[in-house]
Chain A
Amino acid sequence: MSAVVSLTNVEKSFGAVKVLNGVSFEVARGEVAAVIGQSGSGKSTALRCINALETIEGGQIMVCGHAVHDPKLDKKTLRRDVGIVFQSYNLFPHLTAEQNIMLAPTCVKGIGKAAARDLAREVLARVGLEAKADHFPEQLSGGQQQRVAIARSLAMQPKLMLFDEVTSALDPQLTGEVLKVMEDLARGGMTMILVTHEMAFARKVASKVIYMHQGTVWETGPGAMLDDPKTPELRAFVGSGL
């Protein structure tokens, strides 16, 4: 098993605040890693560093063979391999679901309009929304928008998918439909890192749980570690979360 992502002693500050203080973990091909932890523990920042949305001050990040810590990194090639989905969907409001999905394949990969449309239909089907292809984001529910956002990332055929609290803005029912899509993805063998507050989902789907605390990886292990925390911090966190 080769590591698709590996972080080694990653350090990141915002001004005087050290947000990541020596973060290290690995995610292997086909693995689903759930990152959990209190608000402010640096989960989102770690995810953003993996996708080069933030530049790090120390340590190393390797993603699908790209040296992300290298100042000479070609971000465009990195992003061909990495998809990211945000809490706030970030769909383009003036484009239909289908056009949202077609934009990157046509612009970045130079795929023709017709082929891109077929591709859009295909990924929309994967998230159960082929009937909504011509809808604009404001005509869709939050859960549907988030599924379109996932489909938009999938259309670029990434090797790694990052999810940052993608269900936090949704009510329980809509959360369920988005989590189902993610579970299907995981079953299909996609390598995924997801920041989540859904402990039940982490326990069920994740092959690895990464508990972050105060800017470091405090405890890591399989999903079962949530039932038997080693550190008092994780025990307190799991206790409060359930």
Chain B
Amino acid sequence: MTYQFDFAALLPYWREFAMGVWLTLQLSFVATVLGFVLGTLCAIGRSDGAPWVKALVACYVEVIRNTPLLVQIFIIYFGIATLGLHVDANVAAVLALVVNVGAYTSEIVRAGLESIHKSQLEAAECLGLSRPQTYWHVIVRPAIERVYPALTSQYVLLMLASSITSQISAEELTAVANRIQSDTFRSFETYIVVGVLYLALSFVVRIAFWLFGLVVFVRRRKLGTAL
């Protein structure tokens, strides 16, 4: 049994692949930023909020962590449609990814918040810092610095998981691949190319996080903490 690879058949589709890569990057970028904000707020709410806030966040996190991403995507996509709203598949995809990654982010950031010793808060309080100032300068920033490697892994996973939004025909890389392979009947080659592209994307995302970390966390840069 010999299989004749024919990658040349895919060459005419390079534009589409590129568009798919671009959309995957866009989806992931927006979902990362919004998911980070949502997750951090949830983490603060869960560790320091009113009892009902804590309960609400706990529910949200548990529901998301114990259901498949694909189901969450369908629920959000069809849920929005049922409400009579018309949203673009890409927007629904971002929304679903934000809701999903927000829950995971919140757990990671919460671990960071809890790792900040109470004596740090006391020191800030004694220096006269207000509560929001203490939160920002003494708790959240060092906490995020501490869990930054875990966050990086989570957002690489998010980028990879965004492939599943092809199921609601968001036009990202995997959706593009699905279409190309049915046009060319070159499924194996198509998914090999897509695999390599995702590998490259992961690498790019990791590098981007590393560079961002160097800019934001001065101590990492100075003390040369590896990522």
Contact = CB atoms under 8 A, between A and B. Distances in A.
A92 B133 CA distance: 13
Q: Chain A's interface: helix, strand, loop or mixed, by majority?
A: mixed
Given A86-B119, A90-B120, A136-B222, A152 B127 contact: yes
B142 interface: yes
Given A136-B222, A138-B223, A92 B126 contact: no
A131 interface: no
A156 interface: yes
A108 B223 CA distance: 29
Interface string A89-102: 01111101000000
B128 A53 contact: no
A103 B137 contact: yes
B127 A103 contact: yes
Nearest to B121: A90
B122 interface: yes
A108 B129 contact: yes
Contacts of A103: 127, 129, 137
A196 interface: no
Contacts of B223: 136, 138-139
Interface in B95-119: 119
A88 interface: yes
A76 interface: yes
A108 B138 contact: no
B227 to A, nearest CB: 16
A153 B188 CA distance: 67
A94 B127 contact: no
A105 to B, nearest CB: 9
Contact of A92 (B122, B138, B217): B138
Interface string A128-155: 0000000010110000000000001100
Contacts of A117: none
A51 interface: yes
A88 B119 contact: yes
Contacts of B125: 53, 75, 79
Contacts, number: 62
Nearest to B142: A94
Interface residues of B, number: 22
B127 A108 contact: yes
Interface residues on A, range: 20 to 34
B145 interface: yes
Contacts of A104: 127-129
B142 A92 contact: yes
A217 to B, nearest CB: 24
Contacts of A76: 128, 130
Contacts of B179: none
Interface in A49-106: 51, 53, 75-76, 79-80, 82-84, 86, 88, 90-94, 96, 103-104
Contacts of B70: none
A16 interface: no
A92 B137 contact: yes
Nearest to A155: B127
Contact of A94 (B119, B124, B129, B217): B217
Interface of A: 51, 53, 75-76, 79-80, 82-84, 86, 88, 90-94, 96, 103-104, 107-108, 136, 138-139, 152-153, 156
Given A107-B129, A153-B127, 11 more contacts: A76-B130, A79-B127, A82-B126, A86-B122, A88-B119, A90-B120, A92-B120, A103-B137, A107-B137, A108-B128, A152-B127
Interface of B: 119-120, 122-130, 133, 137-138, 141-142, 145, 217-219, 222-223
Closest 3 interchain pairs by CB?
A: A90-B123, A104-B127, A108-B128
